[in-house]
Structure 1
């Protein structure tokens, strides 16, 4: 581009910028509306670019405080106290389905490592808590939790020791932990953090596909809203450009001036977006979505991505403006667009979704076993398919409203307005249609592949609702009796397991032994006659090792695996004269139980340290917070008792993370949709202020005008949601085919997504009623 042309472009763009800020009240109002619309989109874009950094920071904070499990259990049990050692016990728990990170600490030397976020170690009976936990403990909601944490609060955990401001965590001082080191729950460490670099885990191709589609679907409505915002006040702008033609500018110059106005609004939108982002970042510190919270300092966008947003938004504003003016003839005496426009062409609008399907088609049948997905083709295909909605919707709205006939006055006003400006109505609906279509496709994809990443735990939650793992040295029978008396517990089944062998040293013949009283053993086996001292055999008759070891009067040995390290450590166990054979219950509390089963009276007294004990609790459904009542009772017995709530299924962590990210992002996009629609609605009402005032002055009822505004919103929205439904189901079916998953449409959820979109529009319409009433005044006819 030659230098004179560059200077001409510069002068015309600069003139458009000056018109934006020196065009009086109308210019400022239009600039502010554009800036707010663009700013909301920019804020969400900046938030999106900050998410990877936020997740990485959370991960690094979590890794930096890693303690229990940083040393192999066998090595940890043999470790010795030093001037730099610290004994840590994992006491994680839950309270009303919220996770609480808990640690008991006992420094063994003056140079013991201080946990991240702490200024000094709490003393015995003291604890340092996170701000969120301190607030919970002080509230009425935390009354039951205060009984579980009988420590004096002496400080708060700093940001360095937390992964989010809403995290519930505490460090409590303790004594006597060194004697209970087992390497898994209680450990001796000399530093916090991962002991070695973890190998990077290969991500499943389907999870990669989910991630790509989630980001694309969440960002597409943002791009659509930004493109819509830069066209606010288009009709008034075109009339101003007609005046410029009257004083001598040519058509190209007027378009460059219009691009300058759009550029100014986009740059102002960048400023607004930065402000909105900074405000939203601070608000993020006080909000928790799906148990995920982040500190404001986490949300720092990547400089490269932020620069890309700063360059792409103004460039897109200029491009959209020039594209919008391609069919508008601006003459010195007016804008030809006020005449009946030429009918929109359909053929090229269908090419966009077809091109998207063409990009996705080659990847049908790929997935976990059949190779990776091409990320560029995935993103390109999804973008083109969703962008096809924005191209097709104006044609559909125009074709539909052209056939609408007579009706009530409010209906006629709405239909005539849509017939004259169907493009503006379609632009307002584009964003919500794209968002709903993307949500439907994602819902179908997540529902289809969920089974691949959801595994059955094999636990029967009708038999028990909670499992308590006891540390060694704690009497399982005593714990079982106390838990039976605990509030919230209906029954408690105490079972222990160990391994026994036929010889000492390095045994080859080993089998498992399950220990429990007669009531507990009947939870897993069909036992007709039982008394303390009995021993049973359960297992396959084809298992020769178990049959060989279960010989009456034979001597077996506990803990044979360590006898080579400590000769004489094994404990001999002589079987009684009768070993009864039993069968497993069809609804056994444990599945696939085999080996020996013994009552406590049949074992030698020295065998108890070698038992790994678990108590299974069936809670009382009539007791409120029954699970937490049982947890309180367990902590009162021993703070090192670990509790687990039974669930029938569990999901792969990566799948759960992506799903959580989708829901958090969808919440943000939903807020953006509502705010942007409201701004668009207000802009359209402002454009029609004089018309509304004139209608009121001629006697039109306000109720009629209000209904006309509702019809003007409802008709395009209904058409947009129908198109979104078709495109969303199509995209969802293609994505399922790509992952070799049977295509199935969960219509209740699909219709729910559509209903959410319609609900957002209804809320926006209701919020626009007060401004509409203020605009419907005869004073609006006054002009300068």
Structure 2
């Protein structure tokens, strides 16, 4: 009963403490609310990922569609991928033709689109209706007949369409679809990515916990003076601490409510926010019930615990607070073991094996100990540094003297950024070390060509027109374009014999000299191309490409039943050359002929491949290339050449880190700003005294900057040292070596930017408080 009575009295003081009491409570509620909102968002991530994965599986084709012998039925659909890219954004899409009266429809699609019609996502509809989508409208010349609902989209900003066709066939690349819905489940993350996800969660959430603990102590000096007045009227020290805990409890409960409001309001806008081409449905951001309950219980309990722990170092007597005198020096002996213990825990966990499941708890515990240990070391470091400072300009002396008298408030505000930067340094080192496992060098050369296209099962005439169309496209400089088919050696072969077969590539001299080591070429030349360093394959090419002998052009596809195969005699003067890598990094061998030697339009069936180099100075050159491809064949594949490809799961984890890091940095900036404003409120009378004695505003402004910058610089140095140590241990755990030691430089710049932004935002309040009327008292 005594506990409840004292807690209730503290709540009454917080709720009915006048304007000062409400200002302090509001600061605490806003600070705690920001942290709670981020915790609620973090607890919603599992639900968000599960719902997104479920929608992705729901619109994938059923397992039966992956068989080559899917029977035609009243519900089957022929479809081909028509995905494209527009100004750096992916546009997913399919061209579809029903094979019956009840065709299977994708999730979120109410009716199957008719020929020359399409259903689109809301984001794509908006883009097509805007002036920005003019070039994309040329690429998608279909009438919009409907909108894809949320169940068929991964995010509200996704660009997706389904277009109807009346001419798509299996011969033109159509794939028979039996239905939608893949229930195979999602892929398990490899052990290395599990370690990465654990560290990301720790790095993003530990600063939030520190921020909440800091917010609970806002207005501590005024609270202690008020508690001294309670001691004067007879309250004992234990009751005084319980009353203070009641005040903190009230502020934290208001913070929970404020955090819920912040979360709900922010969630309603999350669909309109798109970062790195990713967004989320507001309905997907639902905290897991047990995590929400844990937050609701843990935050008030943490507030009470932090308050009681803080009061243990303060002697509140009836005539004042002893902390007003010079405080005793902080001790180092109990602060060092925590980060050291964290490194030991990580070391004892051992190295992560590629196949063995990873236990998350030791890794998370070790990382938490290191990061929290850095936050505990920071007050000692700041005190040890500022106590040795002497002299300097007036603003510097004001700032240093303030930090020497009481560096606790400034240090608490900086501890969040220290932990965040240390964790970010460790994460960046981990990313750099394991990047080689998830990034593959493709061997492609983007300097020779930036795009490649591929279209199969077309006539030779159409393939020729394709190359010509790309060469006439605006912004295109060079096209390495070939018309390709297979040729065989004529003759009769038993079932056990393998008929000699090779490829025939037809192009102009400029193209052939790009894909083979040809020193001279004129129209009408023919070449027999051997692969580099492969004698066995070279002999196989020569068995088909016999100079002066006939070869059979595409004998199995494209000729009518019973028709006489088309034959062509390989010139006797055909030169033998060696293959060369094309911009895609691939080798071509077989027979290569110029257009003057054989007309590609006479081929019954062919494939066309083009590798395109564009003029970088032509705006939207890439979009003109894709528009040309869509006009030729909506199912034509257009790819971008890149020197490095990245694993999809690795890229997904990196995207999640970017989201979390952005939110954490915003929270840290808000934390420092609120703490700065609270400190200015605490020093209002002191600022008024300085102004009354003639101190200039510029002097006080610079002193505020130095008071913020000094702890931040010390915190960043500690963060860099701790982050490098943590990163080195984590890199050792995954059996990698540290590849980059200077990744902390951008993070240090970010910290400096936060200091400058917080100082500038706090100046208006500083100017308002520097008035002589601040000396009035009651």
TM-score by length of 1: 0.92
Does 2:373 align with 1:384?
A: no
1:269 to 239, 243, 255: 255
Does 2:754 align with 1:760?
A: yes
Give 1:266 deviation, angstroms. 1.1
Give me the whole-angstrom Cα distance separating, in 1, the residues matched to 2:596 and 2:567.
12
Which residue in 2 is equivalent to 1:135? 126
**Aligned residues, how many?**
766
Say if 1:471 and 1:640, in contact at 8 Å, map to a contact too. no
Give me the whole-angstrom Cα distance separating, in 1, the residues matched to 2:383 and 2:604.
81
Give matches, 1:497-512, under 5 Å: 497-499=484-486, 503=493, 507-512=497-502
1:30 to 24, 44, 60: 24
Which residue in 2 is equivalent to 1:188? 176
Does 2:462 align with 1:472?
A: no
Greater shift, 384-393 or 106-115, is seen at 106-115
User: Would the alpha carbon gap of residues 472 and 341 (structure 1) be closer, same or farther in structure 2, given more than 3 Å must change?
Assistant: same
Give matches, 1:669-748, under 5 Å: 669-747=664-742
Which residue in 2 is equivalent to 1:613? 608
CA RMSD of aligned residues (A): 2.7
User: Would the alpha carbon gap of residues 672 and 590 (structure 1) be closer, same or farther in structure 2, given more than 3 Å must change?
Assistant: closer
Which residue in 1 is equivalent to 2:100? 109
2:400 to 400, 415, 422: 415
Greater shift, 441-450 or 287-296, is seen at 441-450
Give me the whole-angstrom Cα distance separating, in 1, the residues matched to 2:67 and 2:594.
30
Give me the whole-angstrom Cα distance separating, in 2, the residues matched to 1:271 and 1:217.
25
Give me the whole-angstrom Cα distance separating, in 2, the residues matched to 1:681 and 1:609.
78
1:517 to 489, 499, 507: 507
Give 1:604 deviation, angstroms. 10
1:156 to 111, 125, 147: 147
SS of 1:343 mapped into structure 2: coil
Which residue in 2 is equivalent to 1:175? 166
Which residue in 1 is equivalent to 2:35? 41
**Gap regions ≥5 residues in structure 2:** none
Give 1:600 deviation, angstroms. 6.6
1:253-274, Cα deviation, whole Å (9 max, x unpaired): 2112211211111111111111
SS of 1:75 mapped into structure 2: coil
Give me the whole-angstrom Cα distance separating, in 1, the residues matched to 2:284 and 2:647.
25
Greater shift, 110-119 or 665-674, is seen at 110-119
Which residue in 2 is equivalent to 1:10? 4
**Gap regions ≥5 residues in structure 1:** 1-6
Which residue in 1 is equivalent to 2:389? 404
Give 1:535 deviation, angstroms. 5.2
Give me the whole-angstrom Cα distance separating, in 1, the residues matched to 2:60 and 2:446.
32
Give me the whole-angstrom Cα distance separating, in 2, the residues matched to 1:468 and 1:18.
73
1:119 to 110, 126, 139: 110
Give me the whole-angstrom Cα distance separating, in 1, the residues matched to 2:62 and 2:142.
22
Which residue in 2 is equivalent to 1:353? 339
1:512-539, Cα deviation, whole Å (9 max, x unpaired): 3142224233221123456548352413
Does 2:60 align with 1:66?
A: yes
User: Would the alpha carbon gap of residues 284 and 418 (structure 1) be closer, same or farther in structure 2, given more than 3 Å must change?
Assistant: same
Say if 2:172 and 2:456, in contact at 8 Å, map to a contact too. no
1:548-590, Cα deviation, whole Å (9 max, x unpaired): 3333466666778999xx9979956565353542112366765
Give me the whole-angstrom Cα distance separating, in 1, the residues matched to 2:494 and 2:84.
39
Give 1:202 deviation, angstroms. 4.4
Which residue in 1 is equivalent to 2:240? 254
User: Would the alpha carbon gap of residues 532 and 341 (structure 1) be closer, same or farther in structure 2, given more than 3 Å must change?
Assistant: same
Say if 2:580 and 2:588, in contact at 8 Å, map to a contact too. no
Say if 1:426 and 1:716, in contact at 8 Å, map to a contact too. yes
Say if 2:225 and 2:321, in contact at 8 Å, map to a contact too. yes
Which residue in 2 is equivalent to 1:638? 633
Say if 1:87 and 1:188, in contact at 8 Å, map to a contact too. yes
Give 1:85 deviation, angstroms. 2.8
Give me the whole-angstrom Cα distance separating, in 1, the residues matched to 2:636 and 2:683.
69
Give 1:391 deviation, angstroms. 0.7
Give me the whole-angstrom Cα distance separating, in 1, the residues matched to 2:504 and 2:116.
37
Say if 2:75 and 2:100, in contact at 8 Å, map to a contact too. yes
1:325-345, Cα deviation, whole Å (9 max, x unpaired): 111111222211112111111
User: Would the alpha carbon gap of residues 250 and 385 (structure 1) be closer, same or farther in structure 2, given more than 3 Å must change?
Assistant: same
Say if 2:583 and 2:611, in contact at 8 Å, map to a contact too. no
Give matches, 1:434-449, under 5 Å: 434-449=419-434
Say if 2:464 and 2:483, in contact at 8 Å, map to a contact too. no
